[in-house]
Each structure stands twice: as C-alpha cells, then as structure tokens.
Structure 1
Amino acid sequence: MPAVAPINLDTIPKPTLPPTLPVNPLPIANPVFSPNSQQLYQISNSLQQPNLLSPSNINVSNWQTNLDTVIFPIEERLTRDFVNYLNLPSTNAIATLEDAQNKLSAIEKATGIKPALIYITFLPKGNTIVDRSYSGSSILRVEQQIQNSEELELILVTASGEPIRRRIPLTSRTEVLALVQKFRNEVTNPVKRNTKSYLPVAQQLYQMMIAPLDAELQARGINNLSFISDLGLRSVPMAALHDGKGFLIERYSVGSMPSLSLTDTSTSNFKDTQLLAMGASQFADMSPLPAVEIEVSTIARQEWPGKSFLNQAFTLANLKSQRQQQPFGMIHLATHAEFRSGDPSNSFIQLWDTKLRLDQLRQMNWHSPQVELLVLSACRTAVGDRDAELGFGGLAVQAGVKSALATLWYVSDEGSLGLMSEFYSQLKNAPIKAEALRQAQLAMLRQTVRIEGGMLHTSSGSLPLPPSMSNTGSGNFSHPYYWSAFRMIGNPW
C-alpha cells in the first residue's frame, strides 16, 4: 500500500457523538481501608481545553503518587470481571507493580524483546478513592457505580523505570466508546474497503490511547505492547490505530491480556512443539469456508510439523483423542467460532459434529500438558457487547492455553488463508509469537501477501487456490479490515 501522507490533525472533523448521559452517581458503599492505605488521592481536573475530541487539543496530566495503590485495584477489578463471567476458580494472587516489573524483566532477558503493559481504563472525574486492603486471604474492594462521565486513564508499566500515569481530561466513557464503535464500523464496512475513511477516527483514538505515552515508549526502547483494557475497550483493533504517518503495528507488536494476574507469562521454546490442525469447509447451517482445506493442509504439511484433519475427521472425539495420543503444543482450528452475548455457553467453536462451547473448553485439558498456542482463524465477536468481550478476551485463560490467536470479526476466507500462511512462516524465526503476527500483518499491509493470477502469494512462496476460489481475481489485503482483526490474547511472548 502506498505510504499514507501525514494528515493535519487540526483539520480532522469531529464525529457526531451522543450527548453525555446525565448521571446520578451512587455513594460508595461500605468503603473499607487498612490502616496503611486510608488515603484519598485528589486527581486534578483543572485543565480546561476547548474542542473535546480534537486530537491536537488533548492535554494530559501526570501522577506518580504510589502507583502500586492504583494498579493493584485495577488488576483486582479486571481479574474479578473475568473470573465471575467465566466461572474460573477464585484467586487472591493479584499481581502487584513489583510482580509486573519482575515478569517484564524476565521476558526481556529471555527474548531480547522490550515489553510493556498498558492499562487503559475509565476512572471517575475529580476525586478517586484508591484502596488496597487485606483481611486474611480476602481482598476487600471499594465498589463504585460505572459512570458515563468517567475519564480515560492510561498507565504504562515497563521492566525498569517509574510507571507512567496519564489522565486524559475532558474525555468521557460515552464519547470514547462512541469513537470506538465508529472506528470499528469504518474498518469493517465492506463498501469502504477501497477508501481510508477510517483514518480520522484511527488518529483520534491514537491521540487518546497512545500519544500521551509516546515519548516514554520511545525513550525506553519498547517494541512490544500488551493492552489490559476496561469494559468497552477490549474490542478496539489496536493494531490499526494511526499516528498520522503510520499504523501502530508498524512500530510495535501488539497483544491483549484479560489481566496480568490471569496470564501465564512463563516462556518456553514453542518452536520445538508439534501442530494439530483441524478444520471444516462445509456446514449445515453456516456459510462455507472453501479456503479451509488448503489452509489446514498447507500449514500442517509445509509451514509447521504436525497432523491435519478435515471435515468428517474434525470431531470432538478425534480432537480429544489426538491430544491424548500426542502432546501437541499448538492447536489450529479453522472453523466458525462465535463470541456472543449472555452466558459463556452461548459462545462456541463449530466442530464437524457438534459445537464446542466456551464453558466446555476447560474440559479439553489443554493445560495438561500445556498448549502454547490455540489458533481460531474464523471468529466473530458481538460488537460492543460486554459478555462477548469477556469471552473473547478470556479465551486463553478459559481454554487453559498460554496464548490464543483469534479475530475480532469474521475476515474473508481468502484473507484468513493469507494471514495464517504468513503467520506460521514468520513464527519459525520470530523471537515471540506477537512479532510473528506483526510481520504477517505487515506483509498484508504492504501487499507481500496478495492474490494474483489465481495464486496466493506470501513471503515464502505461492499457493494455488482451491477451485471454488479460482475466480477470486486480484486480492489486495492492505486495508485494515483484513489484518487488524487478528489479536494475540494472553501471553504474547
């Protein structure tokens, strides 16, 4: 794709947003403080800037006040959200700032990659009560009503150096989530895939979520970002945020965690493991996926050592049996998967003979022996839905795997084939899994991965397309619709 010319941010039109909803906040119920944490932190709200969502006018404030007392409650709250929704075993082992920095330091030493965690949350305007209290093994919490007027806040944690806290004043939950919705709509709109209509919103969100941390990220030499995000922000295609010159993915590998406390951050040599690839191309009540046959066979035979099974052999019994016979460390499922509203049992992975529901994943015992990576190549997540976000964001921990690669929306069949073929090729040499994904996304952005003359071209060679796709013609995958949906969930290393 030709280089995108820098855009004057002052000329970006502001989107039409719904007005901030009137809120009658409830008082904080039964606050409990330990003798050492009975403090009320005053957060400045005195900065007044015009043009609420004009990126050139966004100002930030910086607080360095005992950040462990800020990070710990955020970790606890986000962990509790996933534990409750997915019915996971309760845990009191909530990660502290020291835990986070120790883990990041270990990753840096093991991989040579400099990682960072970025918490993106909403917090009430004005006063914020920060509580870190213990009673035996129980964690006592200050509950607070979600308010539509809450402001966006960022916290950057790296292996060394002080954490950075940035409040983005004059933002609100209502307006930020409206921008997120608009961004996803622009990226996924099939009518606009030959346009750059997404750029203004991609740049606005970049200015809110990344720009306030830009200087520190560059000064510390960071090249991998893991986002730990609040309700409504977990479905943002972060890879496609844009600074006016390039996409976020052009500078960093990107992933997401439900919380650090729920993520297995240990490292291991995943390149020595075998791949179990299964998939279905035909379905009784869902659209066909004609590229699956070549995707599954190519990956397992050419890109990564392992076994492959298609259609009638893609049964629940065979999936279990193959793992019992051989401890495959990577599982690739090329089939429809849906993350839906409501109970986790509503979300599923479609096998040939049944639906493997989200609440059944723990029964697959993919944690014993440990599966390093679960790949779902044809997912769809309900847009803007809390439960769907929790199911998608908690996929790795629910499945008992270290990492999961899945899509926020259903990408075209040939687009998934292109990215997956390139991903496994890059995985052979990449230092971490998220970097392999980044290189695959860049290959699509830069048209190294493309369809031409009835062939799928990748950095490692060309593949003939199946007969049902022979009339696809020329396929350009440079639009972020094709590559920004893919998300590394859990441990990105």
Structure 2
Amino acid sequence: MLNPYRKSTQGRFLGTLFLISLVFCLSFAQIERIIAQTPDASQLVQQGIERYKAGDFRGAIAPWQTALNFYKQSNNHNNEAIVSENLARAYQQLGDSEEALSYWEKIANYYRNSGQAQQYGRMLTEQAQTYSNLGQSGKAIALLCGVSDAQSKSDTKPQGESNCLPGSALQIARQQKDKLGEVAALGSLGEAYRLRGKYDAAIKYLEQADKITEPAYKSKILNSLGNAYFNKAQREKIRADSAKQLKIPKSDEFQKNAIAYYTKAWNSFQSSLGFARQQDDKVTQMQVLLNLIQLDYRRQDEQNLTSASLKTTRENSQSEIHIQEALNLIDKLPNSRNKIYAAIDLANLPESSKDASLSLILCSSKTSLKRRLSDSQVNSLLLNAVKTSQTLQDSRSESFAFGSLGHYHECRKEYKQALDFTQKALWSADQKLQARDSTYLWEWQTGRILKAQKKESEALPSYERAYTLLEKIRSDILLAERDLQFDFQDIIKPLYLELAQLRLEEASLEALNIETRKIQLKNALETIDSLRLAELQNFFGNDCILTITSEKNVDELLGSNTAVFSSIFLENNIAILLSLPSGESQLEWIKESRENVIEEIQKFRQGLKEGVKNPIPYDRTHAQKLYDWFILPFKDNLDKEQIKTLVFVQDGILRTVPMAALYDKEQKKFLVEDYDLANTPSLKLTAPKALNRQEERALILGLTKQVEVDGNIYLELPNVRSEIDTLKERFPKNKPLINEEFNREKLNQELNKTVYPIVHIATHAQFGTIPEDTFIVTGNNNKLTINELETSLRQVNGGSRAVELLALTACQTALGDERAALGLAGVAVQAGVRSALATLWSVSDESTLKLITEFYGGLKSGMSKAKALSTAQRKLIQAKKIEDINDQYDNPAFWAPFIMIGNWL
C-alpha cells in the first residue's frame, strides 16, 4: 500500500481496458466510409477523433454527440453504433463509467439484434470491463463467461472452454474464431477474478490469454498477470506468517510460494514494460512502472527474498530507476485521469520500504513518515494534477488532487493550507456526485486536521459525517476490492477508532450533563459495533453476514438479567463500556498501558494452554489482574441490577481471552462461577431467540482416526466415539457421518434431505489469518474451509429451517493472531447459524466429552445455551469433589477455552 488513496484510484487507473485499441482502430477504419456518406457529420467525427488522440476526451464528446444526433435523425444505425462506441470510450477515459455503461448496453443490443455476433461479443467484453471499474466484478464475470454471481464468489478454478455459457463474450469469440475478441475476453475475465480475490482463477485465465499471440495486447495482459502474481504473493506471505504462528509445517512452503510469486510478478512487469516501450504505449508504461515501484517497496521490505534478481538494498535496487523513469514519462502522457492519479501516487511515495505498509493517513500524529521525492517535486506533481483535472473538468480526479495536497500539508503540520485544500477537495467531491466515495476521506482528513489543532469539538462533526458516509459505501468498498483485506487496518479501521475515541473522551468530561453523556456513549457503542461488522465482512470477504443484521438498540436486545461488555482498543489506551438492561451505560478506562495489558493477556492465555499438557496447580496471578481491570470496576452496577448473564463483544487480542477463567481474589471464584457467559462478534449481528425445542434433531459429524492435512498431522481423537454415542443418546433423532462418510458431498446430501437444528462436529478445527486457512478436518485427509461450510449450511438457513447451534470441538487458533481470533469470533455469523460452541485451543478429548455431555444435558433440560455451557464448566471446576470426573479437570485449561458465540438464549 503506497498511499491511502490508491484503493480509490487504482481500480480506474490500473484496470486493464483490453479492448480499447482493438475496437477503436476498427471504428476509425469504418469511419472512412462514414466520411464519404455524410460530409457534415464526418467532419464532426474526425474533429472528435483528433481531440481524443490529443488527450482531450471531454472535447471529443461534443462533436461526437452532435454527429450521433445526426445519425439518429437519418436512421443511420450502423454509423450511430460506431460513434456511440467512441463516446463510450471517451466517458470511460474520463472515469464516468456509468455513462459509458449506458452506451455499451445500447450498442450491444444493436449488434445483437442486427446479427453482428463478433461485434456483439466484443461489446459484452467492453461492458464487463466497465462493470469491473464500477466494482461489480460479479456482473463482469457473468457477461464474459455466463457464470452467476454466486458461482463467481465460490469458484476457485476457472471454467473450462466448454463451461462458459453460450452467449457469453468468451464463447462468442471462440465460435467466431475471433482471436482478438478471445484474448480481450480472457484478459478481462482474469482481471475480474483478480478483483474478486480469486487469484488462482485470474492467473489461469491470464496465462491462457498470454498464449494467444497478439502483440497489441501483450503488455496489458502481462501487466494484469503481474498484478495477479503480486496479489497471490501477498496472500501466500500472510498464510506463511499465520502457519508459523500455528506451528504448521507448511509455513516454509507458503514462504517459498510467496518468493516465487513475487519473482513471477517482477518478471511479468518487466516483460510488460518491454512490450509497452516497443509500441510506444506510454499509458501502459506508466501503469507498469507504478506497479514495479510498489513491488520494489515490498521486495525491499521482505528480508527473506534473496533471489539474485531481486535486489534488497536501496542503492542496488531498480526502485530509483523506475521512479525516475515515471517522473520523466508523466509529462508525456495525454491529459487524462490516468495522468492525474499517477502524479498522486508518485507524490505520496514514502521514503523507505519499512514505511510502505503504513498508512500516510497517520503521518501527522503517529509516525515520522517522509516522502521519497523532494518537497518541490511533490508540490509540483500535485499542483499539476489539480491543473490537469480542471482542464478535463473532472471533479472526481480534482477531488483526489486537492485532497492529496491537503494531506501533504497536514503531514508538514501546515494546518491552514491543509484545511484549505481539504475543503476544496470536499467541494469537488460533491460536483456531479462523481466522487462521493472519496468524501469520507476528506471529512476524515478535516477532522484530523482540526483535532491536531486541539479543536476536538469542531473535529467531531467532521468525523461523524465521514463515518456516516463510510457506513453507506463500506460494503461496496470491501466487496469491490478483495485485496483491501490486506490494507483494512490502515484505510478503514482508524476512522472508526478515532471517532469512537472522540465520543468516549467527550462522554468522560465531568461537566457533561447526564443525557448528553448517554447519547455519546450510545454513539460510541454504535461506532465500535459498526467496526466489528466491517472487520468480519473484511475477514470473510463476502456480504452474507449482512442478511442477519439487527438494527435494535443494545437495551432492546437484553433480557432483564443480561449485560454487555464492549472492549475498545484505541491508539494509546483501552476503554470498556458496560451496557445494562435498564438502558444505563458505564465507561471505564484501563489505567494500565495498552502494551502492558496485551502482555498480561498473552501470559494469561499461554499459562492456560500450558496447563493442558502439564496440569500443575493453576497460578491465578494473571487471571486476577485481568479481573481487576475488566470486571471489578463494574461489580457494583452488576450487583445492583442482579445481572446473571454477561455477553462480551471483544476487540483485538481480547477475542482470544477465555473470560470464564478470570479470577475474583476476594470471592475466590472464577468469573463463570458467578455469571453465565457468552460472546458475540457484533450486537448488530445478534438477534437473541430461545432454542426451538420442538425439533431436536442432530447431525453428528466426527473423526476418530489420525489424518494429515496440508502436511500437518492431526492426532487421533479416541474419545470422539464416546462423544458421538452421547449425542445419539441425547438426541434420538440423529444422523452420524463418521470418518470416510464425513465429507462435503455427504454433508450436502443430508442438509438437503433433512432439517437439523443442531450440527455437532467432533474433529480438529483450525482458525487462521485468512478464511482459506480456517477449516475443519474431515475424512480421507481432507478439509472443509469455513466458506465451504457456510455454503453447505446456508442451504437450510432461514426461518424454521435455521440451524440453531453449530458445535465445534478441538479448535486451534494462533496465540496473539487477532485475525485468526476474528475468524473464530465470527464463525456463527459466517456459517449462517444462530449460535456456535467452539474452543479457543485444542483440549483433552476426554475432558471435552465430560463437558459436552453436561452441556447437552443442560440444553435438554431447558437451559439457555449460555447457561448450559457455564453450568458444564462449573461442574468441571468441582472435579475434585465429584468422583466420576478426573480431578485434574478443575484446572481452567480444560474448561475455560469453551465459548458460546452468537445467540446466547
């Protein structure tokens, strides 16, 4: 991530418009015939062509529009279509994709109705590219291959030649033996899958396109292929880091894969640059150079990349050469949005590779980031970007140019100039509604500038407007650009946290009246809960979770004896907010430093995990400290309202904390001995509803033998058979799928055939940094990812057919890996079930059997899910007093990791 605005610009700038040169050249050839037929209109057409070639895209539109009206009046439909194509391209160049799309659709209909199949197929590709630019890659894939939007979300492999549906762009090109159309469709399809985060599919399509010898497209195909390799390398690096934390043998393999894909990206970009130079294609040259610069930063930052072709020191790297070449090239580009965004990207380059992954948004408050270019170079680039955008009358790019200037001065602490340019960016963003998705950036920037001047009361309204705007478009941003997963922490999360902090700080003012304090606490809670939703959506990479969102206030969700704890990790401290059923709220700030709290949490959790292997008398020191920080300040209010159930909405590393094991040294009790406990990833995703006890049918999935998945050995779980027998006894209406029968096909068959309110899975489960590494182990050395499990379980989701409870035993998450913990926190939401019972780490399957037996016994007797779990945990705490339970099981290592997620009733 080279700058905080790249995500908003690169879809328009780096998106490969494969078909422009092809169809435009054909249009010019046809235009020769137009000139002879209609001299007046032909002059207008030629005038537009000359302006277009000169980079005056807006200037080309007026004469073409006049010519188009002439052809409409004379019913010259063929010429009307040709001029419409060029108008669509002009609007595309200006970044007005919606206007371009309206033309492409009309042109496609004309060619289809007139039987011009080849042209119709090409227009489908043009439409698809426009949809990709709009962030609607699912629609693009449907036009190019006929694949449904749902299929494009789940497919990891490209469709074969015969699998693209008749009438799709790719099938038409192949039927017509249109090689140019085929390579354009393949390239566009690869790009659409890349934007969707399906990098393997993207690479295969782009590699197919690369095999077709079409020099005009070679540089564009290779550039897009380089982007796909680069994205894949980033994904593999994340997997390597996650596997290392989970101590999985494949960590080294993922790391090698990352190196290999970085190298492939480098080679593809270099080849693309060579072809672009041969063809004197300056626009593509700039695209590739910017990609190479981004890769240069990543390579310099990765100390493990030791390939001889990848230099890691600044003195020997190609970085300076690429930057200088881009600076020399920029003035030679035609005036266009591409040129503007290239200037912005170059101006925002950080000085060193170690800063490349940091957001420049934070430069004025948290870091000492410096830019790669001199102040005079940065200022010149951005001022020229403003001038070019004004020449083009392009309010969207003008907004980004002004905003970047404001950000430049913000980083220099020149707040008057920063605020002036940021206000101009806001004004430009409102013009023609073309840059509304950037407005939240400039409102946020305004808030930061005012906050930096200690004008918190003036900053708060700007933050609130930014938040409101981002809430409206957040889903579109997250779904449109899947690789935003890598940058979420820098681009979106800080806005929510900064606004929450402002609201909490205002609520903490002693002079504030009670009603205003209530409002600010309520607003802060709403902000953080929206962040929880955004984090889950970002992690899982789809919008399924939105289907069960609740818009009720927290007090409407709570029963008379239930309270909610919301933890908020801010920049320098931690806030805990208690919501009570009476509507009252209590805010407390953890007085310890954030770093000390995190260290204490890690020691607490590590001590518990070690107790599984060596159940010596448990040291309660860390559990006492955490209790004193997180629970004790609220004890009076909890007692006053006779609270019996605590629901935790945790942040960051707190998601990995088994709150049940916090210890009250005064009462000499664990937290779970006083309260029934549950967790939920977000209050907006919670709709408390009691278990439907009319249908107590259970689907039981289990693994009793040792298996190997991804090079990791998962040991035999000898007590799973007894666990399954217990489930069968508790739920006579059951269907077991054990070992070899435990597979995706059998699971789907059963779910299609029968309604199962309870799905119990007795096997190993892993929660990694990305959904691909979050899975359950199935029979025959296979696995079922969380997304695949969601696809299966959603078949029965909704209304009376909803899965009420998903139970997962023997889970594993990485210590301190907040994204892995996020996956665990959101498992119920992602799987499309009301509640999930899971563990924070793998425990003895014998103790699991005891706890699960007690849990389902409580559930059958009419207890809520939270109460049934807490009651089972209390029984293990009393292990030394109960003859039929191993007395070691009173150690919280055996009972604390079990948590109830989602609906607690």
Q: Give the TM bin, normalised by the shorter chain.
A: 0.7 to 0.9
Give 1:73-472 correspondences, 5 Å limit. 73-89=527-543, 91=546, 99-104=553-558, 108=559, 114-123=561-570, 147=571, 150-169=572-591, 171-190=592-611, 192-197=614-619, 199-244=620-665, 245-270=668-693, 272-285=695-708, 286-302=714-730, 305-341=733-769, 343-353=770-780, 354-364=782-792, 365=794, 366-368=796-798, 369-447=801-879, 457=884
- More displaced 10-residue stretch of structure 1: 402-411 or 416-425: 416-425
Given that 1:276 and 1:300 are in contact with CA atoms closer than 8 Å, whether structure 2 keeps it comes out as: no
- The number of equivalent residue pairs is 401
- More displaced 10-residue stretch of structure 1: 213-222 or 28-37: 28-37
Distance 2:892 2:732 in 1: 26
Change (3 A) 1:260 1:440: same
Change (3 A) 1:92 1:289: closer
Matched residue SS, 2:649: strand
Matched residue SS, 1:177: helix
AA partner of residue 563 (structure 2)? A
Greater relative contact order: 1 or 2 (C-alpha under 8 angstroms, separation 6 or more)? 1
Distance 2:555 2:732 in 1: 34
Distance 1:352 1:334 in 2: 12
Change (3 A) 1:330 1:37: same
Given that 2:699 and 2:756 are in contact with CA atoms closer than 8 Å, whether structure 1 keeps it comes out as: yes
Matched residue SS, 2:899: strand
Q: Can you list the C-alpha shifts for 1:328-350, whole angstroms capped at 9, x where unaligned? A: 10000100101122x21111101
Given that 1:280 and 1:314 are in contact with CA atoms closer than 8 Å, whether structure 2 keeps it comes out as: yes
Given that 1:276 and 1:306 are in contact with CA atoms closer than 8 Å, whether structure 2 keeps it comes out as: yes
The two structures have a TM-score, normalised by structure 2, of: 0.42
2:525 to 60, 71, 77: 71
Given that 2:698 and 2:731 are in contact with CA atoms closer than 8 Å, whether structure 1 keeps it comes out as: no
Distance 2:650 2:858 in 1: 28
* Larger helix percent: 2
Q: Can you list the C-alpha shifts for 1:145-185, whole angstroms capped at 9, x where unaligned? A: xx3xx22211111221411111223x222111111100011
Change (3 A) 1:367 1:45: closer
Distance 2:707 2:652 in 1: 35
Q: Percent identity?
A: 32
Please report how far the alpha carbon of residue 263 of structure 1 lies from its aligned counterpart in structure 2 after TM superposition. Answer: 2.6
Distance 2:687 2:549 in 1: 13
Matched residue SS, 2:815: coil
Matched residue SS, 1:249: helix
Change (3 A) 1:304 1:43: farther
Distance 2:460 2:567 in 1: 25
Matched residue SS, 1:206: helix
Change (3 A) 1:92 1:155: farther
Please report how far the alpha carbon of residue 312 of structure 1 lies from its aligned counterpart in structure 2 after TM superposition. Answer: 2.2
AA partner of residue 849 (structure 2)? L
Please report how far the alpha carbon of residue 271 of structure 1 lies from its aligned counterpart in structure 2 after TM superposition. Answer: 5.9
Matched residue SS, 1:233: helix
Change (3 A) 1:274 1:94: closer
Given that 2:676 and 2:870 are in contact with CA atoms closer than 8 Å, whether structure 1 keeps it comes out as: yes
Please report how far the alpha carbon of residue 476 of structure 1 lies from its aligned counterpart in structure 2 after TM superposition. Answer: 2.8
Distance 1:293 1:279 in 2: 8
Structure 1 partner of 2:276: none
Change (3 A) 1:367 1:173: farther
Matched residue SS, 1:281: coil
Structure 2 partner of 1:464: none
Q: Can you list the C-alpha shifts for 1:384-419, whole angstroms capped at 9, x where unaligned? A: 102211110000000000000010010011111111
Distance 2:746 2:657 in 1: 35
Change (3 A) 1:237 1:93: closer
Distance 2:889 2:694 in 1: 28
Distance 2:462 2:765 in 1: 49
Distance 2:888 2:549 in 1: 45
What's the C-alpha RMSD, in Å, of the aligned pairs?
2.9
Please report how far the alpha carbon of residue 301 of structure 1 lies from its aligned counterpart in structure 2 after TM superposition. Answer: 2.4
Please report how far the alpha carbon of residue 192 of structure 1 lies from its aligned counterpart in structure 2 after TM superposition. Answer: 4.8
Please report how far the alpha carbon of residue 35 of structure 1 lies from its aligned counterpart in structure 2 after TM superposition. Answer: 8.5
Given that 2:506 and 2:520 are in contact with CA atoms closer than 8 Å, whether structure 1 keeps it comes out as: no
AA partner of residue 642 (structure 2)? G
Change (3 A) 1:362 1:302: closer
Matched residue SS, 2:779: coil
Q: Can you list the C-alpha shifts for 1:438-458, whole angstroms capped at 9, x where unaligned? A: 1110111101897x7xxxx37
Change (3 A) 1:166 1:351: same
Distance 2:366 2:509 in 1: 21
Q: Can you list the C-alpha shifts for 1:210-254, whole angstroms capped at 9, x where unaligned? A: 111111111111111110011111010100000111000001111
Matched residue SS, 1:312: helix
Distance 1:395 1:487 in 2: 12
Distance 1:269 1:397 in 2: 18
Given that 1:380 and 1:407 are in contact with CA atoms closer than 8 Å, whether structure 2 keeps it comes out as: yes
Please report how far the alpha carbon of residue 431 of structure 1 lies from its aligned counterpart in structure 2 after TM superposition. Answer: 3.0
Given that 2:549 and 2:686 are in contact with CA atoms closer than 8 Å, whether structure 1 keeps it comes out as: no
Structure 1 partner of 2:100: none
Matched residue SS, 1:203: helix
Given that 2:767 and 2:823 are in contact with CA atoms closer than 8 Å, whether structure 1 keeps it comes out as: yes
* Larger strand percent: 1
Structure 1 partner of 2:350: none
Given that 1:303 and 1:421 are in contact with CA atoms closer than 8 Å, whether structure 2 keeps it comes out as: no
Change (3 A) 1:312 1:264: same
Distance 2:577 2:464 in 1: 20
Matched residue SS, 1:226: strand
Q: Within the alignment, does 1:29 sit opposite 2:29 as a pair?
A: no
- More displaced 10-residue stretch of structure 1: 429-438 or 205-214: 429-438
Please report how far the alpha carbon of residue 101 of structure 1 lies from its aligned counterpart in structure 2 after TM superposition. Answer: 1.1
Distance 2:573 2:732 in 1: 46
Distance 1:376 1:437 in 2: 13
Which of the pair has more CA radius of gyration? 2
AA partner of residue 74 (structure 1)? I
Distance 2:822 2:462 in 1: 34
Structure 2 partner of 1:19: none
Matched residue SS, 1:117: strand
